[in-house]
Amino acid sequence: MQEIIIIWTVHARLTPHKELARILNIYNPEILLVEITQADIEKDNMEKYPDEMVFAFLWAKKKNIPVYGFDYSMNTLAEGKTEKDNQAVIKEQKKIFMGYSWKDANRQEIEEILDTATAKALINSKKVAQRDKEMMKNIKKIIKKNKKTVIVTGVGHLKFFEKHIVEARFPLREEKKKTKKI
């Protein structure tokens, strides 16, 4: 039976590797997909990617689990925005995020808090939509029937994946729902 599990992370060194490893061990994938381009995996060129993506890749390699990249390389910054602007937004969001766990990014109210005017102005939403579509095409090419596939991606792609991979489980979102009922 095919099973797709999506684990989202928070970039900018806000996802503790130890916790991510624990979650990956719990869901024990037969195939792991990470938000890195397959071309960069093949070239062993991963220094520009978020640390937790590289960690997840190395975790899978160590466990002899097939691991593939599904990212699509594309500049999604709005016209006139630079990497300096991106770093300023990351700094702003790190301040906002203080006191929260990376798992808290699963909650809609935290998503909304992080979606500041500065963050919205940083990106070109049409480019982001195109990148999400291209990543989805890559995922569809990789996923194997009758295999438990875990996809590790940044929280910014959560809504898109919830809408387009309806058969997927989102255990961190489920975990938060359970917590709220207690």
How does pLDDT run across 29-68, given as a tens digit for each residue?
999 999 999 999 999 999 999 999 999 999 999 999 999 9
Domain of 91 in residue numbering reads as 3-181
What is the value of pTM for the model shown? 0.89
- At position 24, the amino acid (one-letter code) is L
- CATH code: domain of residue 116: 3.40.50
* Residue 103 three-state SS: helix
Q: What is the pLDDT of residue 56?
A: 98
Given a contact cutoff of 8 angstroms between Cβ atoms, the answer to whether 143 and 4 are in contact is yes
- Could you tell me the CA-to-CA distances from 93 to 18, 51, 159, 166 in Å, in that order? 22, 17, 19, 29
**pLDDT tens, residue by residue, 105-139:** 777 677 777 788 888 899 999 999 999 999 999 99
Partner residues linked to 6 by β-bridges: 151
**Domain total in the chain:** 1
